[in-house]
Amino acid sequence: MADIIATIGFRKKLIALHRSRRRAAAINYMRIRAAKIAKVEPSEVKIDPELNRILMLNAIGSTSNIKVSISASAGKAEVKRFVEKTANEHHRQRVLRRLILQQRRLLFLVANQITQRRK
């Protein structure tokens, strides 16, 4: 099964809880929501250590949404933080596109010069 990208909101769930109980509630809520999206049991959901660390750090102060990638197979699901392409990757792709365009222009100019010499 392909990865499912979902945004999980914690505000309604965590805002009513005392700050000391938010960490465990955030992890449990993430597990339950991922299980529901992937159609598996909550006990079969594995949360990535990086995502777990982010939840632990952000659960107390920030109750913002977190974008996750859920991959499910054979009755098990794995939840990871969804990371879009970074600025460096975008820059690298832009540079590669420029290089390809320059090569095409050079090939076009060389082809034109060859055809003009034949005439």
Banded model confidence at residue 119, pLDDT cuts 50, 70, 90? low
27-38 core/surface letters (b: 16 or more CB in 10 A; e: else): bebbbebbbebb
CB distance 14 to 63 below 8 Å:
yes
Identify which of 14, 20, 18 has the alpha carbon closest to the alpha carbon of residue 66.
Answer: 14
Residues 76-116: tens digit of each pLDDT? 999 998 887 666 777 788 888 888 888 888 888 888 888 88
Question: What is residue 6's DSSP assignment?
Answer: E
pTM, 2 dp: 0.66
Question: What is residue 40's DSSP assignment?
Answer: S
